[in-house]
Amino acid sequence: MFNRTTETRPPADHQRLRTRRAARIAAVLTATAACATATTGSAGAIVGGQDSTERYGFMVSIPMVNDNGHCGGSLIAPQWVVTAAHCVVPEPDAPESELTGKVRVGSEKRTSGGAVRAIARIVGHPKYDPRNIQSAYDIALVKLDRPVTQKPVRIADKAGPAGTATRAVGWGTTKDDAFVMPMRLQQVGLRTVPARDCKGISAKRELCQRGQVAGTMACGGDSGGPLLQRARDGKRWELIGATSRDGDDSEACSTGPGIWTNVPAYRTWIAKHTA
């Protein structure tokens, strides 16, 4: 699914976005693979989203090596990022030297601005199976080599019920039929739907989402990025998800639902490693 050289990977990877393996640690180093899930839509944004309308200082770009392979992440502490395990957990036979890389924090531009930090440590969930593309434990923590000054996003106490308005953010491809990554951060409005709407989902550990507007959904290059909901005060965003994979068998992102790892469900595990 990916090439461990600096060669650009063709759109075939994008066409199999639900196979989250396209954005493992090799992509962090070589930026040759597309991440599994992204947003689709009509306005040439996520797919079907729009240019970011506000600052998301907690947004993380993984990697920043070149303009191709890419994942997203969320700053949850000055020195910790949460992302999808398939973005950073290597294949069982991957060389140890691949557990390095750099990220960019707090910029609306994918390849400039913000704070650049090296990856000091990667903590994948112990139950995540990199050989199983439907693994429900698609979550990992990335420790930065030194803290950043950007404000972390708060993890919600729990994700809202079906019908809750949400927002996904990322730099994933803006097209279903080609891998076209924007330089400007994109956002798209989604909503939480019942788990039964997504195929192969773990109702306790994952969230099913559909676009608020038809033809919008996360797509290749958005994996690991944040899914947000409004806090009770209605003013700030809280983190509820990390982009994981497609929620159906369609090759197109924009035609169906998407699956996000339920980040609040892992609060205890996250606290154990970041405290």
Mean pLDDT estimate for the chain: 80
pLDDT at 20 over 50: no
pLDDT given for residue 131 in this prediction: 84
In angstroms, the CA 262 to CA 239 distance is 9
The DSSP-derived string for the chain is ---SSSPPPPTHHHHTTTSGGGGSHHHHHH--SB-S--B-BSSSSSSB-EE--S--TTEEEE--SSSSSBEEEEEEETTEEEE-HHHHPPPTT--GGGS--EEEES-SBSSSSSEEEEEEEEEE-TT--TT-TT-S---EEEEESS--SSPPPEEPSS---TT-EEEEEE---S-SSS----SB-EEEEEEEE-GGGSTT--TTTEEEEEESSTT--B-TT-TT-EEEEE-TTSSSEEEEEEEEEESSS-S-GGGS-EEEEEGGGGHHHHHHHH-
In contact, 195 and 210? CB cutoff 8 Å? no
- The amino acid at residue 166 is T
Query: What is the average per-residue pLDDT within 146-153?
Result: 98
Residue-wise pLDDT for 226-254, tens only, equals 999 999 988 899 999 999 999 998 888 88
For residues 13 and 174, the model is more confident at 174
pLDDT at 5 over 50: no
pLDDT at 150 over 50: yes
Task: Specify the CATH number of the domain 154-265.
Answer: 2.40.10.10
Residue-wise pLDDT for 196-230, tens only, equals 999 999 999 999 999 999 888 999 899 999 999 99
pLDDT at 25 over 90: no
pLDDT given for residue 161 in this prediction: 97
Residue-wise pLDDT for 55-100, tens only, equals 999 999 997 433 346 899 999 999 999 999 999 887 666 554 444 5
Residue ranges per structural domain of the chain:
154-265
For residues 37 and 127, the model is more confident at 127
Position 138 confidence tier, pLDDT thresholds 50, 70, 90: very high
Which amino acids are annotated catalytic?
86, 138, 223
